[in-house]
Structure 1
Amino acid sequence: MPGHEIDDVINQRLNLYDVLELPTPLDARSLYDDLPLIKRKYRSLALKYHPDKHPNDPLVIHKFHLLSTATNILTNTDVRPHYDRWLIDYQRKINDVERNKLIQKLELSESSTATAAHPHADLSHIQRYGELLRKLKHFNMSYGDWKHLDQKDQKNASHHPYYDCSTLRIVLENFPHSHAKSSCFAHLRNHIFTTLNPDEIHDIYFSERNNYSKDDSIIIYTVFDSPITAQHVFRSWSSGNVIPTVQDISPLIPLHYYSDFNLKTELNDDIVRLVSNEPILLE
């Protein structure tokens, strides 16, 4: 497994149990070590999302990559404990933050209602908060899921449709003010990708392992406007078009995931008969 893969997962705050449609352990006591179950889930979902079945759908290709990443990490006895510790700690922090926000919001609503001029204030919104909190607790759901309950916010949010498929991991020589996002944007546009239009670089984010004051190089994840632009940049680099201050460029989704996939699925009987020119009997 590439050394940066576990770091990429943590940087993106990925819940690999959700990827494999498995229950997420909420604490160390609820961890389970059912490797056959993990592998069965992978085989089942990999057949559904295999790129050969959907060669022109980047979302399916990305889903298949996530399935492979999740299985590699959760079945690796050296890596999984580190990931599980991070995930449990991350969930605890998220839950604490969201729970405090909800408590403050509820207290503010109750305070406003108590001091309102109208004696019969509308308490329905407070009741809905309480109902949702009880549902989250009853179904053992993370309080972090609260932020997904406002459908209006979801519709207003603008997301890159192929975020990971358009992302390259770039190892770059350190430079002044490299920790600042605006400075990095300017550096990439003015010194690295000078042939690209400014809007072809959609976003950037940094590796948490970067040491800007001591390291000679840093890692920047660059999200381009489309998978085609990212592919063009990667192929240009791979063909020997060297950029002096760039040490390495690699896709966020490792290419080796698609090189040796050997799962097979049986054809439907009717399709087999059609291929072999056998007559299909109608009942």
Structure 2
Amino acid sequence: MSKKKIEDLDLYGILDIQITATEVEIKKAYRKKALQCHPDKNPDDPKAAETFHELSNALEILTDTAARAAYDKVLRAKAAAKLRHQELDSKRQKLKEDLERREREAGSNVNLTDEQKLAAEIARLQKEGSRLLQEEQQRVKEEIQRTKKRLNEPVWDSSLNRLKISWKADKNDESNGGYDESKLRRFLKKYGEIVALIMSSKKKGSALVEFATKEASEMALELEKGLPENPLKLKWVNERPILTTKKDIPVVSSVVTDRDYESLVLTKMRQAAERQRLIEEMLKEEQEKL
């Protein structure tokens, strides 16, 4: 157990739960906290192990009926004592403390105090071991390992894997070889979500497309031919697909408050506009190389 006295710790506060919390709520709170402060996730934090140990103590005691009852009794006694202390003036408080001291010195320990009962329950837990605590700690460790594994798995970043589209079109051809953005979208959208599609404003017969998924990109590359009389040619801008890992992609919190929503929408709009601008610049650079 922790070097700190259990009766001096706020076990409910450590887990951020109410004193009325059920065992299910206690376990849920433990898992959430443990995943955040586990030493394996915080190797540079010297206090991580101590914090995790306090969480384990809280789970161990609050999920054991007898230990929790003893702890709650001490809490109630302390709360009542605190209230009495507030009501007593300094003189009466001193008299009370002197009386309690004399009673202790006189050996009035035939019956166990609430604190001693709590200590006995904690000793029992130490002796028996806590299967529940071990199981919860193992679940947390496994979850951390799964998270690390997922972060190292290859993932698709559409911004790194755009396709260049080309077709025959004379520079003075008003119809641009029979293609416009609407027609290109009609041909391409059947393969999956299109993140961006830009047609060259200077060079006829040229466009760039960005699909949301690897599968959509590969199917379009392999299958799409466009108009029979003027087929489309698709190829990777970077010559081949590029995969990255989740740990290389900035993490955006999935928890969005009402206050954040407007800001998030504006940010996404700016990102979409920036993506369009970057694709247009890529097209321009491609044209200048010719």
TM-score, normalised via structure 2 length:
0.34
Higher gyration radius (CA): 2
- Decide which structure has greater helix share: 2
> So what's the TM-score if we normalise by structure 1?
0.35
